[in-house]
Amino acid sequence: MGKVITVKKEKRFIGRTDLIDLPDLGLADVRAKIDTGAYTSSIHCFKVKLQKDGKLSFYLPAHRAEKHKRFVTNSFELRAIKNSFGQTEMRYVIKTRIVLFGKRILTEFSLADRSEMRFPVLLGRRLLRNRFIVDVSKQNLSYDAKENK
């Protein structure tokens, strides 16, 4: 019988914050906070509404000089998510791609009102697990790698 060889994927360092791209949403250089306390990543949005046709519509805030963007999707889930205060609330969750260190990663984002928060995007453990090691003394490592290309 042959020997089974497993190859461990090399983990990259990521800082406490970064500027990320969300190509499916048409957004680039969005401020994101890395949060190992959060399981699911979240993105700031508003006017989240389940339409009569069963599709979900939501708006993302203006990024730079653009107008607010409206999105409609039929690919979503309604899930119980713990908020930053430890209380469970029902939130819609979508899947979209994020670009970190030049790699496109399909991940989930809960749609949340983060208007009172400094960062419109929060990156949680589900995205970070088995990919990144967080170094809180650093920031913008993915963005800096993009800029140096």
DSSP secondary structure letters along 77-88? EEEEEE-TTS-E
Query: In the prediction, which pLDDT does 148 show?
Result: 73
Q: Is residue 130 part of a domain?
A: yes
Q: Is residue 1 part of a domain?
A: no
Section 60-87 average pLDDT: 83
> Which CATH number characterizes residue 56's domain?
2.40.70.10
Section 30-37 average pLDDT: 94
How far, in Å, are 4, 15, 25, 62 from residue 109 at the CA level?
36, 20, 12, 18
DSSP letters, 89-134, are: EEEEEEEEEEEETTEEEEEEEEEE--TTSS-SEEE-HHHHTTTEEE
Q: Is residue 6 part of a domain?
A: no
Please determine, for residue 101, whether its predicted confidence score (pLDDT) is greater than 70. Answer: yes
Structural domain for 49, as ranges = 12-147
Please determine, for residue 94, whether its predicted confidence score (pLDDT) is greater than 90. Answer: yes
Alpha-carbon dihedral angle through residues 36, 39, 43, 48, given to the nearest 10 degrees: -160
The amino acid that residue 38 corresponds to is A
Q: Is the distance from CB of 16 to CB of 33 less than 8 angstroms?
A: yes
Q: Is residue 115 part of a domain?
A: yes
Q: Is residue 100 part of a domain?
A: yes
Q: Is residue 4 part of a domain?
A: no
Section 49-54 average pLDDT: 95
Pick from 110, 134, 135: which is nearest to 122 by CA? Answer: 110
How many domains does the structure of the chain reveal? 1
What residues pair up with 27 in beta bridges, in sequence order? 22
pTM: 0.87
Q: Is residue 81 part of a domain?
A: yes
Q: Is residue 126 part of a domain?
A: yes
Section 90-103 average pLDDT: 96
Please determine, for residue 9, whether its predicted confidence score (pLDDT) is greater than 80. Answer: no
Please determine, for residue 91, whether its predicted confidence score (pLDDT) is greater than 60. Answer: yes
Report the distance separating Cα 136 and Cα 149, nearest Å.
24
Section 99-128 average pLDDT: 94
Share of the chain above pLDDT 70, in %: 91
